Amino acid sequence: MANDDGVLGTADDFVSLYRRYRPGKFSELRGQEHVVRALRTAVKDGHVAHAYLFSGPRGTGKTSTARILAKALNCLALVDGEPCGVCASCSEITRGTSMDVTELDAASNNGVEAIRDLIAHAALGSPGRSKVYIIDEVHMLSTAAANALLKTLEEPPGHVVFVLATTDPQKVPPTIRSRTQHLEFRLLGAETLEGLLRDVRDDAGLGLDDAILSLAVRKGKGSARDALSALDQVAASGESTESRPELSSVVDGLCDEDAGATIVALSKLHASGWGPQQLATELIDELRQAFLIGLAPDLAQVTGADRDRLQEQISRLGLARVVRCIELLGRAQVEMRDAPDAQVLLEVAVVRAARTDLEGGSTGLADRITRLERKIQELSHGAPPVAPPAAKAVRPTPQVALAPGAKASLGAFKKAAPGTQAPGDTPTAEPEETPTPQAAPAAAPATERNATDVSRDDVEQVWRESVLPGITAKARSLYLGGSVSNVENGIVTFVIPNDAHRAKCAEHAAEVESALALAIGAPMTLDLTVAEATRTQRTKAERIEEAGQNEEIIDVEHLEEAPVNAASSVAEAKILDAFPGAIEEEG
């Protein structure tokens, strides 16, 4: 960790943490390993480009890396591409007094004159091996200034290296980007930032706990400079609430759908000096971190106790409601800009976020459905079994184990009155009573039934409910295509569409007869019959023989044209009388 003690001022001067702990070597850069590897290898192998473009969010180390590169190019004791940091050249670059490094802020020096002056001095020599020009916010150069830089940027003197830094690479002219090697800097992760702040706290002797470090990490939002500035602010005030409002009670109110508690918590924060816009911004960030923890934990910028708290809150709130809360607060934040009382808009948005029943349309309906589903899931874990609703429904036929040689009766499958047993009852269509959630009594012994007493109605009643469900799937698919035609003396006539279907059904006849006997309580025999309308076409002689030779054979070739029927003439005359003036035409 670089510490510029005695460089930036006297011992009594205050130096902000981000300046005191600016990285001075490649090894001290945090979260930019891909950039460090590329630059260190280029310096070690002597393949340094004549121009680089560093882009990335603020506070990620672009300017610091440019200075480290200048040290490496002029270090007197370079080791494996790493500057020593203590030689005369490195010390001068650290203090900002080196003639080998020229820094230009393009935000305030964006005119063509500043670039022309830079180009005029570029050819002049310097004490070190290389002369490095660092141009910050290069995207703010005017068009004339960018054009003036092009030629020198493409073919600079051999000892000159340009390092251009920007937070918005899309605004850099393509003509400049094409003449540089582009290295992109990234935001630092929460763990990386927390490690950096912990090292700074320990080295600077700051008496701050981990909760304050977590707050600084959240305030930094991936920027090392912003996080160190937030740590400076908290260290100066000694109170984390001075830097960020305490919003846990507000989020708890949203989780519990308690609009009153949420409004009270917001009012207390407002009375403490936090404005509606600030509260809306911080609350959106709080919900966003909870959303990230629930969806992509690695992206969340929270650590320690705050992370555990948000993990618990997102499990209570749910992702759908978090998204809805962020949308409501975001719209309120936009409307606050022109509102006469922004606090009212914030309170209304929070109440709507807490109370889903106040939201109309499909959004509110979806939220209520989500809440009901979550409640059902909670009740389903460890909940006692619930009795079925009191509805009149058909009860599936129970399976009764029969002793060898015994026969089950239809009455054995009926629900008898409490304490009674009707051995020979005939099934009726009366609705069954709702069974109570009690242990089922032992099945009554099946009573024998005479097959001659079984009617077609008896068979049809058990056919769909017991017989078909009790056979194999293949047999069931075959017998679904037929129907019971007649039942007489224990023989069930079953009609099938065609002979091929009958042959397939015959293979499973024994299985169906067993299931039918079990359901009826008497032995039954199947008579598979093909429907008369679908039999194979018979010969004419067979049809005549079947008709008893009474059918007259007509030869079509000997048919003669019939004479005009007199009845037809009478009919025509009646038509002419009914329509006066009508004329009959021949042909």
Segment 15-48, tens digit of pLDDT: 888 888 899 999 999 989 999 999 999 999 989 9
367 and 458 within one domain: no
Instruction: Count structural domains, the chain.
Output: 3
304 and 176 within one domain: no
Q: Is residue 386 part of a domain?
A: no
Residue 487, SS3 per DSSP: strand
Distance in angstroms (rounded) separating the CA atoms of residues 469 and 546? 41
The CATH number of the domain holding residue 126 is 3.40.50.300
The H-assigned helical ranges of 171-299 are: 174-177, 190-204, 210-220, 224-237, 248-255, 259-271, 276-295
161 and 263 within one domain: no
Distance in angstroms (rounded) separating the CA atoms of residues 137 and 108? 10
Task: Report yes or no: 170 and 201 within 8 Å, Cβ to Cβ.
Answer: no
Q: Is residue 213 part of a domain?
A: no
Q: Is residue 439 part of a domain?
A: no
Average pLDDT over residues 190-195: 88
Q: Which pLDDT band holds residue 145 (cuts at 50, 70, 90)?
A: very high
Q: With 60 as the cut, is the pLDDT of residue 420 above it? A: no
| pLDDT recorded at residue 554 | 55
Q: Which pLDDT band holds residue 561 (cuts at 50, 70, 90)?
A: low
169 and 69 within one domain: yes
Domain boundary among 332, 357, 377: 377
Q: Is residue 478 part of a domain?
A: yes
| pLDDT recorded at residue 177 | 92
Q: Is 91 exposed, middle or buried (0-12, 13-18, 19+ CB in 10 A)?
A: middle
Distance in angstroms (rounded) separating the CA atoms of residues 124 and 100? 11
- Provide the domain limits for residue 44: 31-186
Q: Is residue 339 part of a domain?
A: yes
Average pLDDT, the chain: 78
Distance in angstroms (rounded) separating the CA atoms of residues 437 and 286? 49
Q: Is residue 328 part of a domain?
A: yes
Average pLDDT over residues 49-57: 94
| pLDDT recorded at residue 555 | 53
252 and 173 within one domain: no
Share of the chain above pLDDT 90, in %: 26
155 and 271 within one domain: no
Q: Phi/psi at 528 (nearest 5 deg)?
A: -80, 120
The H-assigned helical ranges of 480-508 are: 499-506
Residue 182, SS3 per DSSP: strand
Domain boundary among 335, 359, 377: 377
More confident residue, 540 or 272: 272
More confident residue, 144 or 575: 144
369 and 476 within one domain: no
More confident residue, 152 or 3: 152
174 and 47 within one domain: yes
More confident residue, 476 or 64: 64
Domain boundary among 533, 551, 577: 533
Q: Is residue 344 part of a domain?
A: yes
Average pLDDT over residues 279-290: 90
The CATH number of the domain holding residue 529 is 3.30.300.180
| pLDDT recorded at residue 10 | 41
| pLDDT recorded at residue 434 | 44
172 and 94 within one domain: yes
- What are the b/e assignments for 255-285, b being 16+ CB within 10 Å? bebebebbbebbeebbeeebebeebbebbbb
Segment 530-559, tens digit of pLDDT: 876 444 444 444 555 555 544 455 554 555
| pLDDT recorded at residue 142 | 92
Distance in angstroms (rounded) separating the CA atoms of residues 219 and 215? 6
172 and 38 within one domain: yes
Distance in angstroms (rounded) separating the CA atoms of residues 86 and 70? 14
Segment 314-346, tens digit of pLDDT: 888 888 889 989 999 999 999 998 888 898 999
